[in-house]
Chains A and B, each alone.
Chain A
Amino acid sequence: MSYTFQFGVLAQYQDEILNGIWLTIKLSVLSILLGSAAGVVLASIRSVKGGAARFLVDAYVEIIRNTPFLVQLFIVYFGLPGVGLRVGADTAALIGMTINLAAYSTEIIRAGIEAVHKSQIEAGEALGFTRFQIYRHVIIVPAIAKVYPALCSQFVLMMLASSICSAISTHELAASAAFVESQTYRSFEVYIVVTLIYLALALALRACLALVGMWLFGRRVARRTMTSLPEVQA
């Protein structure tokens, strides 16, 4: 097979692609902020034994983690208008991504909370910490530090999964690519370029998350975030 690559035709669609990149970045950053914040709250609720709130959080996490992201997006975009809640495609994408990411981060952070040994909490009590101080200094911050690399992997996966939002007419990077492809019929070239852009975005996101990790939890956590290597216990 001989195929003549023509990347030149893509140059005139530069603005289209840049707009797509910008929306992908916006959706990813916002959903990461909202989703992880919700994850911290929900994981805290989930780590409390018993109660209706815990049951609801459990149900939410299980439903989201066991259904396809595309179906969740369709429900937000096509289903909610049926009950009088109409949101645009970009907002629907953000809602869908946040709901999805919140469920996964809840589960990841919960694992971190469960890894905090009971004796440490008892040590906090012995030192006269208030309940809130124990929760903050002994439970949640060390828990997140432990699972931070896993959390970051989930964030990167979410950024890549944002490409699915093109199915509900959100004009992010994958939709831009599909548009350029349908205009130029140069699918090979378009998707090579877009693959490289996604790769660059994923690496950049990982680097940013490592910097945030260094600032929040120190160098060791940051290094694990960048390389995704399991923590070596000293």
Chain B
Amino acid sequence: MTEKRMTEIYKELDQLSSELGPVGVSYHSPVHEEVPTFEIDMEGHLLKVPLLMIEITGFSNEELSLLSLQNIIFSDDRNKLLSAMGSIAEGAPVVIIELELFSEQSGAHPVEVIMLPIQKGQKLIGAWGVIKDIKGRKHLEESLIRTREVQERSQRFLSDFVSLMAREIRQPLTEMLLTLEMLHSGHFGAVDERQKARMDQLITAVDRLKGILNQAIETSKDAGREIKLEKDTTDLNGVLRRAVLDRMEHMGSKGIKHDLTLPERAVMAPLDGKAMQQAMGNLLDHSMGQLPKGGVIRIDLEQRNEAILVTISDSGPGIPEDEVEQLFERFHVDPDREGGTFIEGLSLYMAKRIIETHGGRIWCESFPGLGTSILITLPVKMLKEGG
């Protein structure tokens, strides 16, 4: 290329730049001997980028000096670039793609290329490439993916471990339960009423262990699962009514009273009814666990301007302040309550995740000696828009 032609190109480019207006600070490479268009060789391995036409952001000066004029791009990226060029040729006002530039000196650079058409009069003469270094963003995305993988692995481990442990425990439990029942029935000799009463206690204890195991398995599976909501227009009143109804028998057996206050009109919202019912059920189970015989649970649903507010209050002994903060943590165990297990902690954690996936918020307020309230808000706007 002659020096005369070079001068012409610079002139042309300067003119173009002033016509287009400043997009940003351009990086002027010391090497610029090409016409102002992207060029890919016939083999498709080389991208010839006249750096004069490229705005470069995000690279340090040192990195910039290493970016060579000819950057190798990978074949998948080449197709992306060709297709972007095609779109520009067809009149797209802007095309954004992600690709990796590779040079021997500086290695691979993940970049975002924003391509804009350059026109001279009515004629499309090339594309203005704005290259943005997205190494930082990519790094963050990758570390998020890695973190998620680690979480998934540990979740699978937990779930497998719980299942295996449950399997091992269920065998001796079966033996204990069946043998106890046979003893109770007098199969191995006469049993008096006092002995029968003791055996009944043991049978109840084994039943409780069975329940804990089943809950542990279900919750350890659920806790790691990504919550995928299947929303449908659902009556939140109905969800709460059903969650209470499912627990009537249990409440009756514990002598727990309940007071359910719902708006007269249905509160229709696009919710995952099943997931929401599980969340409300878990919260009710927790409140029931707090209560002595004869305790009361109040469930209120209010629709306010900006949100739906659900309150589940119990007349239990309350939770100490430091416990309140940890209540929804994954493996929280209530240290003061006899029979409290980490499973309950998991079920509250699950409830929180379900509420939050619906765009809502959940927190706890407790007054030692007076009781505990769990409050849930679901934003009306989100619900109307379907979240």
- On whether the two chains bind one another, the answer is no
A interface residues with partner B (beta carbon < 8 Å):
none
